[in-house]
Structure 1
């Protein structure tokens, strides 16, 4: 890998007999991309997570009988070697994350309401340590007829595991005690909002959530001692005048902490917000087309790029970030991939 290129992995909605996880390279000079190699043997690898050492990759198989996969990563070639696969005992796992200390893998099962924790053994294999199931419903009878955990991750202190449950309009806090998920707190979100993805500010003071069903972005103050969130602000995830589509998807913050981005699948856009460095509050700046259809996921790449995974146009599109304003400019480069739905950069 040359000095001006950076690897990233892309997960796709592909069958187990097709290549479903792709190692790709981003040219940091001009934003062009290329496929390095593909990995088959996993169906619907819709979310990926890379460990801090960059030598293990974890993936969910978003199928009716869900699974999680663990891979060893070859540091020279990026090739993946399957180490283990375990059932989630749930349906349609759509998110996977590692704990801050790298000791456990967490997974969220959208359709069945299950949340998993697995201990990572010395040989890289997985041992399930906890399985909980959410129950209940909320006001949207079509989309919130039951619990739908859509993401799971740890807070900056590594004390709590947070689950955004779209079906319950709740963010559920757990403590991970000896590998066991022990419920700590539930933060209620506006009825019908549908919390989907979440991101902490680099300072650890604030957190930001994107709500799929009412197309909004929430700003929270994070109380690490109490394990709680206080709502500070709610903004539209869509530009003024746009028809709501119950389809806001992903949210990320730039490494500098000054810019927040949110993707929308109804108008195929990414919105830019400026973050007040003293209050954490947001100011909407602009929305740009993702250059494709259905941006389910995107990534902010260290060094000044955003990569948007456009699921329904089979494309990943690169954008350069203006370091002063955070504005996105298309590079003119597109990578063809089959139904890409997750992008994970490798910082080498």
Structure 2
């Protein structure tokens, strides 16, 4: 791969008999994208993650009988070869990540309301080491009748596993001890917020969460010693005057720590926020159309690009980042992919 090309995998809502995980390329000169190859045999590969060596890829199968898949990655072609797949013993796993040391896979099961940890064997095989069932509810009777973990990830130091539970209005902290998830603390959001996705500032001082149900973005102070979050600020994830749609989706901070982006599926937009370098607080700047429908996920790429996955228009759209102010400009390039819902860059972004 040349320095002018970046690779990424795309997860989709497709059947097991169709190609569902696609390896794609991004031309860093102009934002043009192409499909390189595809992998079948997995239904609804709605979230993906890779290990640091980039020779293993892990995916969830977001189905009523959820599963997690492990693949080896061909170093020359990027093709995926199935190593193992195991049930999550739950429904609709929608997020997957790795612990910082790469020893365990973490999975959030939205519908059944539980979280899994899997130990990764020497040959890439998966062994479930922990299953934690969340309990409780919150004020939105339609969407918060029970627990709904929507993302699971570790803090910058790898001390804690955090779970955004949309159904409980909580960000739940665990410690992973000998493969077991051990309860530590639960940080609360506003009632009815519905925490969905989350990202840490590169400094580790602050963190940012997007709330699906009330279409807001939270700024948190992160206490790495105590394992806790304190809300510093709450802003709208939508432009002023926009109708609330309970559809805010994804959130990412640029590696430079100056800009934050948040996507919303009712407005089909990505919002830009500037980050105050001394306080971590946000200032709303603008919202840009994703030129498609239902941007469930997006990713930031080296060379200064954002790629948005428009689930219901079957497209991925590329945008150029203005390095001075973070504003997004469409490149004019669109990639047709069936129901794209996750974009996973292969190389770490250095923008």
Give the structure-1-normalised TM-score. 0.99
Deviation of the 1:114 alpha carbon: 1.1
Q: What is the match of residue 130 of structure 1?
A: 130
Deviation of the 1:302 alpha carbon: 1.7
Q: What is the match of residue 120 of structure 2?
A: 120
Measured in 1, the distance between the counterparts of 2:68 and 2:341 equals: 16
Q: How big is each residue's C-alpha offset from its partner over 1:12-55, in whole Å with a ceiling of 9 and x where there is no partner?
A: 00000000000000000000000000000000000000111111
Deviation of the 1:2 alpha carbon: 2.8
Compute the RMSD of aligned alpha carbons. 0.6
Q: What is the match of residue 261 of structure 1?
A: 261
Q: What is the match of residue 232 of structure 1?
A: 232
Measured in 2, the distance between the counterparts of 1:215 and 1:223 equals: 25
Query: Is the partner of 1:312 in helix, strand or coil?
Result: helix
Q: What is the match of residue 333 of structure 2?
A: 333
Measured in 1, the distance between the counterparts of 2:82 and 2:154 equals: 25
Structure 2: tracts of 5 or more residues without a match: none
Measured in 1, the distance between the counterparts of 2:182 and 2:37 equals: 40
Q: How big is each residue's C-alpha offset from its partner over 1:264-307, in whole Å with a ceiling of 9 and x where there is no partner?
A: 00010000000011100000000000010000000011220000
User: Is 1:255–1:302's contact at 8 Å kept on the other side of the alignment?
Assistant: no
- The aligned runs of 1:210-289 (5 Å cut-off) are 210-289=210-289
User: Is 1:322–1:328's contact at 8 Å kept on the other side of the alignment?
Assistant: yes
Measured in 2, the distance between the counterparts of 1:4 and 1:110 equals: 38
Q: What is the match of residue 55 of structure 1?
A: 55
Query: Is the partner of 2:187 in helix, strand or coil?
Result: strand
Give the structure-2-normalised TM-score. 0.98
Query: Is the partner of 1:23 in helix, strand or coil?
Result: strand
Measured in 2, the distance between the counterparts of 1:291 and 1:281 equals: 29
Q: How big is each residue's C-alpha offset from its partner over 1:227-272, in whole Å with a ceiling of 9 and x where there is no partner?
A: 0001100000000010000000000011101000000000100000
Aligned residues: 348
Q: What is the match of residue 144 of structure 1?
A: 144
Measured in 1, the distance between the counterparts of 2:301 and 2:344 equals: 9
